[in-house]
Structure 1
Amino acid sequence: MFRARRGRHGRFRPWNCSFSLSSLFSHLFMSWETEVFNEVVFHWGSRYARFLKVWFTFGVGFGLLLMVVEFSLMLLWIAGLVINTWTQKTGMESVYVSGQVLTIVIPGVNMPWNNLPYMVLGIIIAVGFHELGHALAAASEGVPIEHVAVFLACLVPGALVALNQESLQVLSPIRSLRIYCAGIWHNAACCAACFLSLLFFQSIIPSLGMVNKPLMVSTINEDSPLAGYLEPGDSIISAGGIKLQKPKDWFEVFQNMSKEGLTYYHQTGNANISMQASHNVTRDISMQGFCVCSKSFQIHSEILPGLLCPNESLPFYEHLCTSSWPPNMNSAAQYIYCMRAVSVVECPPCSIKEGANQSCECSGSNACLLPLLDHGEAFVNVKVQKQNLKNCHMVKNDSVCEQNIIFVGDVEVLMRSVQLTYVSSPLGKLLGCLVNLLMYTFSVSAAMALLNSSLVFHLDGEHIFQSGLGLMKSWLPLRRRQRITHISMTIGTTLTVISLMISFVQFLI
């Protein structure tokens, strides 16, 4: 963001380095203005003007392309939501469109309070890169910088660069575009730097001896399903029976569960095995289960209405490996039992094979226990090592220190509510802090680029659009350009407000 102002006393003195600090308090807004950076920025912009002009010319292409893509995706997303709502009202098949990019972040709700410093630092870095782009681009074009302002609006830090309006008005459209697109371009460069830094950390981890060690929980959202069971500092050994070696493995395990629904949770075709109980409750049988390894399980022979089980128990279907798959629905109900899930997951895993004489293989047993799930649910066993258990840190490979946490629900919620890092050594903690800072900086910088490329009044997108139309001034009169700009900004601002409101409603739901 930048602000154009008229020159003071008819002329601006670019080398005036007098320090002027003023503050303005107005409700939840506070700002400081200073001219102390004017000389340094103007010097560097003028000295490397040739290189900077080439650099910011690439930014013009990126900014215009991002504006078109962002506006098109916004139209498609809103159109998809409208179509989805209409099809639900008319009873047609629902069409799910996922185009939401910007997400509302509220500390203590969907972001842990201990991550707030990373968010604030990420905002400062992203805003600094953005405004530095405007300042350097203006200096390379010979446009004086009046002052730099730092503000705090509703406890959110920000900044702006005030440029001389008279100097801006005499620039050609392409030179103006270099200045207006510079902030977006620098945000994109910041995102690229964060991404490459994250890749670099991933590449140096093997040399630091951090592989083949349990991952540590760095943060967990307060609304996470595992809140109260996990806490920062705990180690996660495996999820869904898969050993975790890198933080990204946590996401890949659940992403594979979501994408490969026909392998884990059959909902269509012949594999849609559902049990009809009282009150018309339908459950799906997972094709991934556990062999019956003990006769000491507490089995409730009577199924409660609606396939409800007591606390810490879940309904399981006992499938005989010698029988075919899918089972006979007329007699399947007598093989459903309520069992303690934490005891079941201690047994060896088994999976159902369709079209085979032996539908499952269980050594020492002839039955496989398969969880009964609601549509869209997943059965996930997360094996953790608690840090607060007495003497656990002094004993290696002690099974007493390991616990099984059973999760049944939406894997997307579980996946995004927990963040992992490497071993809890000083180096691992430092690496985790740097990774968190890079991730938040990447997210904030990308959000700034998207917002400022939007066709919204008083943002960079308005100036970019005006200068873009200025390239066609030879055949597009000024009055028509102004009319097109006003209409486009009105439509873009309305769509942006609608999309943000929809995001807020979805967040509340």
Structure 2
Amino acid sequence: MPGNVVDAADVRSGISLLVHPLLVDRGLRRYRLLSSVYGPRLEEWGVSLSFAHVRCYTTKFNRFFQKAGTWSKHVSRLWFTVGALAGVVLMFSSIIVLIFTLFQSLNLYQDTRPVLTPVMPGVNLPWRDLSYYVVTLVVCGVFHEAGHAFAASLEQVRVNGFGIFVMFLYPGAFVDLHSDHLAVISPKRQLRIYCAGVWHNVILVLFSILLLWALPLLLAPLYTTGVGAYVTSVEGDSVLSDKLKAGEIITKMNGCLVHSTPDWFQCIEELGNKNQPGYCLFSELLDRQERFFLNQTTLLEDGGRECCDKDTQSDICFQVFPTKGRPSIFHCLTARTVSAREPCQHSRDCTGVLDFACAFPAISPESRLVRISHSEGPDVLFLGDPRSLPFSLSTSSYIPSSSLSPSWLPELLQNLLMYLVSFSSALALLNMVPAYYLDGQWTLTALVELCCESHLQEKTRRQICGVVLVTGSVLMVVNIAIALWTLSMWS
């Protein structure tokens, strides 16, 4: 989606995150009373710091990987065999996705929504979501590398160590395997190891989706769902700031029922896509109101019409479309009273024995007269573009059952799980691209050895791998370059 322009404060915040740890490290090393303790502790924990790079490497998890990987060899072997099959499918799928994305970027498809979009803090990722970004990338990386370590232990390849790092603002993880052990095992066993990382990412995606689906049930003792959209905050400069408050529950917008936050967004979308309805009013009542003809109204810049006194805030101009041979009539009416009537598109839509007219708000084509029903007080009236409503307030589908239930917890869990689904699936797909320095490189090599060892000479197998790897690498680089260029254009 289009991102925000990076401002100076964002840049300063990003640079400070990179420089401060290095400055603290240098200060502690130069301080005599602490340097004798600080340095050895960093070495014990395997921590190293440099500009824009923090790295932690340890061997303390080696025994855990060994025990977990060999806990049940039959089950583990079946688990990682399925993972190898999934990895091979993902490798071929990644090529298809990159080719499709490339054609899409060249406007050969009508659907121009980006498939590959780099995530850049401060550009298309708000700084307020940086904590989600860091936590989910670390979790995805740890799951990925732990998968390699478990599979290596099963295949009797020694795990030398495990580590995590942060380079600039991008965190990650890595596992150090004994390369000599890895080189001598069969291609089938190598495949289990090479595909184990993305297989664990796939499992993480499925598990996160399951938790998202079960979240209302898991939070049921603390939160109620299905009764409305719970207002968590209202922007101070919003037109709704003096009409709605945090803690209220939105239940309806015009005739659209709101049971949850997705319903809230769906109703907003429907209001924006549909024409502004009119309202059924008694013709006799309208005859008693002051009437204005078209030349007695003022055309506004947004395309609406004004026929009311500028000092009145609760009245707006309504138009009754003419019958055959009669001109349009405008009336200045109270919006709250009129919007409570039955909606209509024509006077024949109004039911009853009396004579009705269908009165439409004389507002701009983008604006809508929206009646918002909520849990406390009278309905709130909103006049404007309904697509601005999500920027005016924040809502949640989870309504706290008591004061002990924090309103921010469900949103935090939802965002965390959605980030896990997004990042883990992207890591699983892109890491299996048959390109240099990715898991796809080693997977391709092992797959070609497994399938073609008895049919093709070693030189031919290497040539096949080389052609595919060059093609995959070029596709990867071109797609990333186009995605970065597109992102810069949006910004």
> Structures share a fold, TM > 0.5?
yes
Pick one of 172, 175, 180 that aligns with 2:186: 172
Could you tell me which residue of structure 1 aligns to residue 151 of structure 2? Answer: 137
* Root mean square deviation of aligned Cα: 4.5
Could you tell me how far apart the structure 2 residues matched to 1:445 and 1:129 are?
A: 9
Could you tell me how far apart the structure 1 residues matched to 2:234 and 2:476 are?
A: 35
Could you tell me how far apart the structure 2 residues matched to 1:26 and 1:444 are?
A: 26
Contact 1:110-1:222 within 8 A present in 2 as well: no
Could you tell me how far apart the structure 2 residues matched to 1:241 and 1:192 are?
A: 37
Report the Cα offset of residue 160 of structure 1.
0.9
Could you tell me which residue of structure 1 aligns to residue 360 of structure 2? Answer: 369
Contact 2:435-2:469 within 8 A present in 1 as well: no
Report the Cα offset of residue 189 of structure 1.
1.0
Could you tell me how far apart the structure 1 residues matched to 2:326 and 2:96 are?
A: 54
Question: In the TM superposition, what are the counterparts of 1:73-92 in structure 2 within 5 Å?
Answer: 73-83=97-107
Contact 1:151-1:157 within 8 A present in 2 as well: yes
Cα deviation digits, residues 91-149 of structure 1 (max 9, x gap): xxx93333525463535965472x44333332332222222211111111111111111
Pick one of 38, 41, 45 that aligns with 1:21: 45
User: TM-score, with normalisation over the residues of structure 1?
Assistant: 0.69
Question: In the TM superposition, what are the counterparts of 1:264-413 in structure 2 within 5 Å?
Answer: 264=274, 286=275, 288-291=277-280, 301-304=297-300, 307=303, 318-320=319-321, 334=328, 343=336, 346-348=339-341, 350-352=343-345, 358-359=348-349, 365-369=356-360, 379=368, 381=370, 383=372, 397-399=376-378, 403-408=380-385
Could you tell me how far apart the structure 2 residues matched to 1:110 and 1:382 are?
A: 33
Could you tell me how far apart the structure 1 residues matched to 2:86 and 2:234 are?
A: 36
Could you tell me how far apart the structure 2 residues matched to 1:78 and 1:315 are?
A: 51
Could you tell me how far apart the structure 1 residues matched to 2:120 and 2:240 are?
A: 20
Report the Cα offset of residue 208 of structure 1.
6.2
Cα deviation digits, residues 5-56 of structure 1 (max 9, x gap): xxxxxxxxxxxxxx95333323111101111111111122123232122112
Pick one of 448, 453, 473 that aligns with 2:452: 473
**Larger proportion of helix:** 2
Contact 2:118-2:484 within 8 A present in 1 as well: no
Could you tell me which residue of structure 2 aligns to residue 277 of structure 1? Answer: none
Establish whether residue 199 from structure 1 lines up as the match of residue 218 from structure 2. Answer: no
Could you tell me how far apart the structure 1 residues matched to 2:142 and 2:263 are?
A: 33
Contact 2:205-2:421 within 8 A present in 1 as well: yes
Cα deviation digits, residues 380-413 of structure 1 (max 9, x gap): 737376xxxxxxxxxx7322xx6344451658x9
Q: Secondary structure at the match of 1:458?
A: coil
Contact 1:421-1:428 within 8 A present in 2 as well: no
Could you tell me which residue of structure 1 aligns to residue 59 of structure 2? Answer: 35
Could you tell me how far apart the structure 1 residues matched to 2:432 and 2:371 are?
A: 42
Cα deviation digits, residues 421-442 of structure 1 (max 9, x gap): 3124433634443333322222
Report the Cα offset of residue 254 of structure 1.
4.8
Cα deviation digits, residues 187-210 of structure 1 (max 9, x gap): 111111111112222346677672
Could you tell me which residue of structure 2 aligns to residue 389 of structure 1? Answer: none
Q: Secondary structure at the match of 1:358?
A: helix
Q: Secondary structure at the match of 1:454?
A: coil
Moved more, 309-318 or 431-440: 309-318
Cα deviation digits, residues 65-103 of structure 1 (max 9, x gap): 22333332332233234236xxxxxxxxx9333352546
Contact 2:62-2:160 within 8 A present in 1 as well: yes
Cα deviation digits, residues 240-277 of structure 1 (max 9, x gap): 5423222332344356668xx5xx2xxxxxxxxxxxxx
Q: Secondary structure at the match of 1:444?
A: helix
Could you tell me how far apart the structure 1 residues matched to 2:237 and 2:96 are?
A: 33
Could you tell me how far apart the structure 2 residues matched to 1:29 and 1:445 are?
A: 22
Query: Structure 1 174/225 Cα, relative in aligned 2: closer, same or farther at 3 Å?
Result: farther
Establish whether residue 71 from structure 1 lines up as the match of residue 95 from structure 2. Answer: yes
Contact 1:251-1:415 within 8 A present in 2 as well: no
User: Structure 2 counterpart of 1:150, which letter?
Assistant: I
Aligned residues between the structures: 429
Contact 2:319-2:329 within 8 A present in 1 as well: yes
Could you tell me which residue of structure 1 aligns to residue 476 of structure 2? Answer: 493
Establish whether residue 150 from structure 1 lines up as the match of residue 164 from structure 2. Answer: yes
Contact 1:20-1:33 within 8 A present in 2 as well: no
Quick check: which has more Rg, 1 or 2?
2
Contact 1:104-1:507 within 8 A present in 2 as well: no
Could you tell me which residue of structure 1 aligns to residue 110 of structure 2? Answer: 95
Could you tell me which residue of structure 2 aligns to residue 249 of structure 1? Answer: 263
Contact 1:454-1:492 within 8 A present in 2 as well: no
Contact 1:220-1:417 within 8 A present in 2 as well: yes
Contact 1:147-1:162 within 8 A present in 2 as well: yes
Contact 2:319-2:361 within 8 A present in 1 as well: yes
Could you tell me which residue of structure 2 aligns to residue 441 of structure 1? Answer: 420
Question: In the TM superposition, what are the counterparts of 1:225-244 in structure 2 within 5 Å?
Answer: 235-239=249-253, 241-244=255-258
Query: Structure 1 210/456 Cα, relative in aligned 2: closer, same or farther at 3 Å?
Result: same
Query: Structure 1 77/415 Cα, relative in aligned 2: closer, same or farther at 3 Å?
Result: farther
Query: Structure 1 404/255 Cα, relative in aligned 2: closer, same or farther at 3 Å?
Result: closer
Contact 1:309-1:315 within 8 A present in 2 as well: no
Establish whether residue 458 from structure 1 lines up as the match of residue 437 from structure 2. Answer: yes
Could you tell me how far apart the structure 2 residues matched to 1:298 and 1:459 are?
A: 74
User: TM-score, with normalisation over the residues of structure 2?
Assistant: 0.71
Q: Percent identity?
A: 21
Could you tell me which residue of structure 2 aligns to residue 282 of structure 1? Answer: none
Could you tell me how far apart the structure 2 residues matched to 1:67 and 1:382 are?
A: 51
Structure 2 stretches of 5 or more lacking a match? 1-42
Could you tell me which residue of structure 2 aligns to residue 11 of structure 1? Answer: none
Query: Structure 1 431/81 Cα, relative in aligned 2: closer, same or farther at 3 Å?
Result: closer
Report the Cα offset of residue 159 of structure 1.
1.0
Q: Secondary structure at the match of 2:399?
A: coil
